[in-house]
A and B are shown apart, each in its own frame.
Chain A
């Protein structure tokens, strides 16, 4: 555990001074504050931020995460040459990447909502947005780590990261919509719910929207989700699904890290 703490500490020190992480924090801060500044009410800002979070967070976590893992390769080799177990080293390295990303989002998006607490955004909605953002950061940082550990070719790795982002944010919904249209005569409710849980971006969207009274914005699967499970159970299922989306890539990346040749 001590090794995890030491490596995490080094990662936090490194990334807290990273100009991209600082810019990322300031971008969220500026955009959220700007939305409030230009007259947005709490719920409106929340919805605008949700769209931003669903699009930008996976992209930054995937691309920045992949590049960071590649850039750390030689340093990781130096650490692996020390008498430390690989599992603990991996935990420290992953947390040293994922926590600064999540913290940058929390600080950048959280401060404006705290400052404008009286603007009308529900506490549950803000908590869901911040929770979903943290979950997406952790999940996509794990995916980025897994991709970078699997592919030695950096160009291919970054390409895969971009492809994953495109698939999760754009292509997937298109395919689901196409399937719904093509098989409209069949009872698709359950398969569609399953498909929704199979994409962390959809899960995060539903997690936040179930906290808001905006079922019209949930899309077909979101509305169906709330109708089937209700708000409380729906939120719980979405939260557990997002946790699973953090855990599964992380376990795969951990396994890869422990068994691969450097």
Chain B
């Protein structure tokens, strides 16, 4: 369980995140959505410790995240694009990450599904973009962290590989682990996400179950619902009291029973 409490971040004169409070619950896929420049990447970087929040707290499995970064043992991260050193072999990359996290249980499902053994001796620089993205996914899923953060995970993957990855995401959820995922392909998110967190201009405008969002915005799809949120973004909103996340923004949506999918 990852909880963010009143996270604030400012870059110069720009308030990138303003009092964002969010909980990513175990056994669920939480979609982090929002327009470009809404603060999604910064929020992810704060969770990972790449960027430091100006104020607020981050708790991982109940313990406050420390600067030393030991809490990241609970996190697997798949960036939007893999930029491994081009002169390393795929085996070198996998070996490095494995050795940086000694003693952690290894999950090699994805490595087998993506046939890492077949490309282990290849230089990263000789791989296609899609194959690099497979290595990227394997690195993120290699251990059994309690939270997986996936930034546009299917970008660049062929449909078959994307289906394998989505199946793995569902399996991770079934195992009771948490997944935080961002993507601009909302239709894809809809098939995966249980919860949605909508960021706009650095403020969390909505957070809660996808079903609740669809119901309240009278939408048939996540895409329509997000569009509706964008249209009404100036109107303060609040998640349901028992929703997985909280927002300091005033309520628009009335309480609604949980409808996580």
State which of B79, B85, B86, B101 has its C-beta within 8 Å of the C-beta of A10: B85
- The answer to whether A78 touches B79, judged by C-beta atoms less than 8 angstroms apart, is yes
B92 interfacial by beta-carbon distance below 8 Å = yes
Q: Is the interface of A mostly helix, strand, loop or mixed?
A: helix
Q: How far is the CA of A73 from the CA of B68 in the complex (A)?
A: 20
State which of B85, B89, B99 has its C-beta within 8 Å of the C-beta of A6: B99
B77 interfacial by beta-carbon distance below 8 Å = yes
A-B pairs, top 9 by smallest CB distance, nearest first, are A74-B83, A17-B87, A14-B85, A81-B77, A261-B51, A262-B50, A83-B72, A83-B73, A14-B87
Q: How far is the CA of A16 from the CA of B48 in the complex (A)?
A: 31
Knowing A14-B85, A262-B50 are in contact, say whether A74-B79 is a contact too (CB < 8 A): yes
- The answer to whether B49 touches A80, judged by C-beta atoms less than 8 angstroms apart, is yes
Residues of chain A with a CB closer than 8 A to B97's CB: 82
Q: How far is the CA of A85 from the CA of B100 in the complex (A)?
A: 11
A256 interfacial by beta-carbon distance below 8 Å = no
A3 interfacial by beta-carbon distance below 8 Å = yes
Interface residues contributed by chain B, number (CB under 8 Å) = 32
Knowing A78-B77, A261-B50 are in contact, say whether A84-B88 is a contact too (CB < 8 A): no
B139 interfacial by beta-carbon distance below 8 Å = yes
- The answer to whether A6 touches B96, judged by C-beta atoms less than 8 angstroms apart, is yes
Q: How far is the CA of A67 from the CA of B202 in the complex (A)?
A: 32
A151 interfacial by beta-carbon distance below 8 Å = no
Q: How far is the CA of A261 from the CA of B54 in the complex (A)?
A: 11
A13 interfacial by beta-carbon distance below 8 Å = yes
Q: How far is the CB of B130 from chain A (nearest CB, A)?
A: 17
B157 interfacial by beta-carbon distance below 8 Å = no
Knowing A80-B48, A85-B69 are in contact, say whether A13-B79 is a contact too (CB < 8 A): no
State which of B51, B69, B83, B92 has its C-beta within 8 Å of the C-beta of A83: B69
1/0 per residue, CB under 8 A from A, across B68-110: the answer is 1111110101010111111111001000110111000000000
Interface centre among B45, B50, B52, B85 (most CB of A within 10 A): B85
Residues of chain A with a CB closer than 8 A to B123's CB: 17
Chain A: residues with CB nearer than 8 A to chain B?
Answer: 2-3, 6-7, 9-11, 13-18, 71-75, 77-86, 261-262
Closest residue of A by beta carbon distance from B50: A262
State which of A11, A17, A18, A83 has its C-beta within 8 Å of the C-beta of B101: A83
Q: How far is the CA of A120 from the CA of B52 in the complex (A)?
A: 59
Knowing A10-B88, A13-B88 are in contact, say whether A81-B83 is a contact too (CB < 8 A): no
- The answer to whether A262 touches B51, judged by C-beta atoms less than 8 angstroms apart, is yes
- The answer to whether A83 touches B70, judged by C-beta atoms less than 8 angstroms apart, is yes
Q: How far is the CB of B64 from chain A (nearest CB, A)?
A: 15
Q: How far is the CA of A14 from the CA of B89 in the complex (A)?
A: 9
State which of A15, A71, A84 has its C-beta within 8 Å of the C-beta of B69: A84
Q: How far is the CA of A85 from the CA of B73 in the complex (A)?
A: 12
Q: How far is the CB of A10 from chain B (nearest CB, A)?
A: 5
- The answer to whether B50 touches A75, judged by C-beta atoms less than 8 angstroms apart, is no
State which of A18, A77, A85 has its C-beta within 8 Å of the C-beta of B50: A77
Closest residue of A by beta carbon distance from B69: A83
Q: How far is the CB of A158 from chain B (nearest CB, A)?
A: 18
Q: How far is the CA of A231 from the CA of B48 in the complex (A)?
A: 54
Residues of chain A with a CB closer than 8 A to B81's CB: 74
Beyond A10-B85, A17-B123, A83-B69, 9 additional pairs, beta carbon < 8 A: A11-B85, A14-B85, A71-B83, A74-B82, A80-B49, A81-B79, A82-B97, A83-B101, A261-B51
7 contacts between A and B (CB under 8 A): A10-B96, A15-B87, A71-B83, A75-B83, A80-B50, A82-B72, A261-B52
Q: How far is the CA of A261 from the CA of B10 in the complex (A)?
A: 12
Q: How far is the CA of A18 from the CA of B86 in the complex (A)?
A: 9
- The answer to whether B100 touches A75, judged by C-beta atoms less than 8 angstroms apart, is no
Residues of chain A with a CB closer than 8 A to B50's CB: 77, 80-81, 261-262
- The answer to whether B100 touches A6, judged by C-beta atoms less than 8 angstroms apart, is yes
